Amino acid sequence: MSRYFQPHIARMAGYAPGEQPRGGEFIKLNTNENPYPPSPRVIEAIACAAGDRLRLYPDPLGTAFREVAARRHGVDPSMILAGNGSDDLLTIVTRAFVGPGDLVVAPTPSYILYKTLAELQNARIVLVPFEPDWTLKADRFAVKDAKLAFLANPNSPSGTSLRPESVSELAKKLECPLIVDEAYVDFADWDCVGLVRDHPNVIVTRSLSKGSGLAGLRFGYLIAASEIVSGLIKVKDSYNCDSLSLAGAAAALLDVEYAAGVRAKVLKTRARLTDAMRGLGYRVPDSRANFVWCLGGPPAASVYDALKSRGILVRLMRYEGYDDGLRITVGTDQEIDRLLEELDKIIKQFR
């Protein structure tokens, strides 16, 4: 590593995103993309925005998008902040609240990026294990003097989700902001946006990558108290969202009917995939996201390799204190049929 880097950056491993093979040769079930295309209205809105006006900088705050999102959630537009994917918002919030040596809290096992964001700030992270029933004890989670807490809800890799009452308890116990990362909420049965009203420390982040099928567009937003949003605006890049993504994102939020249709299909396939994986001997927590986490079975790394050699990519997940597991994105019914067919053959080889 070049000697010019700050020591804490030189020390970091950096976040390793899931594999993104360039060709179309894989059935891709490794990074929780939506197997269905975005709403045709999104494509129309982007095509409409892709004209002469691209000469101009985008609206720095994405005013039109903020209004659409505010109406959708029944909040004031000043409570919405748009980002270049929800990862951008997680970064902005961490930069805003966390400095060198500070403490950050997150559950484990969960989204690995939280640790990377803490490391970028030269901060320390405390990882609080989930209870065996996938709840969190507020007393253990509310680490004293923490400057920021993360909660993926639904969580990755488990797919489980805390109820708003439990998240409220965590928020009340914490003396710092709590990010409720709702990247997967479009596949869940409840959400925590309502908590923002009476919990001034709750910041809810949303992604259009999963439910809206727009991982390639890069768009997310957050909902928080106006005074938090106005502080975060100072931290973000001036033009963190481009004109095309702002137009596409607003259209996606407005096409509620299309999103409901996609959700229904994914949930149906998720139920089938969960049953089938359990039938193959895996332990699978009930998922409220668009993936399932499968533990047990033959060595996960070998199954991962065998699937890959047959053209199917899943995500091998390793967490301290847990067996290696496979996180499998809910694909189309045909993709899941192929996966199950190949898995059945692979598992037989281990018997």
Residue (113 or 228) nearer to ligand PLP, CB: 113
According to DSSP, residue 211 is labeled T
CB of 209 to ligand PLP, least distance (A): 3
Indicate which single residue of 35, 85, 109, 177 sits in contact with ligand PLP (rule: CB under 6 A): 85
User: Cα(74)–Cα(301) distance, rounded to whole angstroms?
Assistant: 46
Q: Which residues contact 239 (CB under 8 A, 6 or more apart)?
A: 57, 58, 60
To the nearest whole angstrom, how small is the minimum distance from the Cβ of residue 18 to ligand PLP?
8
Closer CB to ligand PLP, 65 or 111, in the complex: 111
* Binding residue (CB under 6 A) for ligand PLP from 91, 116, 209, 245: 209
Interacting residues of 319 by C-beta distance below 8 A, sequence separation 6+ = 108, 109, 157, 325
The string of DSSP codes covering 36-82 is SPPPHHHHHHHHHHSSGGGGSPPPTT-HHHHHHHHHHHTS-GGGEEE
Q: Which sign, positive or negative, has the C-alpha torsion 35, 167, 316, 12?
A: positive
Tell me if 201 contacts ligand PLP by CB under 6 A: no
Q: Which residue has the tokens 């929800």?
A: 86
* Residue 94 touches ligand PLP, criterion: CB under 6 A: no
Q: Which of residues 105-124 bind ligand PLP (CB under 6 A)?
A: 111
Among 181, 186, 191, 342, binds ligand PLP (CB under 6 A): 181
Cβ-based neighbour number of residue 122 at 10 Å: 17
207 binds ligand PLP (CB under 6 A): yes
DSSP string, 265-287: HHHHHHHHHHHHHHHTT-B-PPP
What is the pattern of x (binds ligand PLP, CB under 6 A) and - over residues 32-71?
x---------------------------------------
**Strand 103-108, strand 80-83: pairing:** unpaired
Q: Which of 170, 176, 183, 284 binds ligand PLP (CB under 6 A)?
A: 183
Asked if 222 is part of the footprint of ligand PLP (rule: CB under 6 A), the reply reads no
Helix (H) or strand (E) holding 297: none
Choice from 35, 213, 220, 248 touching ligand PLP (CB under 6 A): 220
- Check residue 287 for interaction with ligand PLP (CB under 6 A): no
Q: Judged by CB under 6 A, which of 156, 158, 168, 201 binds ligand PLP?
A: 156
By CB under 6 A, the count of residues binding ligand PLP is 13
Calpha distance 323→283 (Å, rounded): 11
Residue numbers at the binding site for ligand PLP (CB under 6 A): 32, 85-87, 111, 152, 156, 181, 183, 207, 209, 215, 220
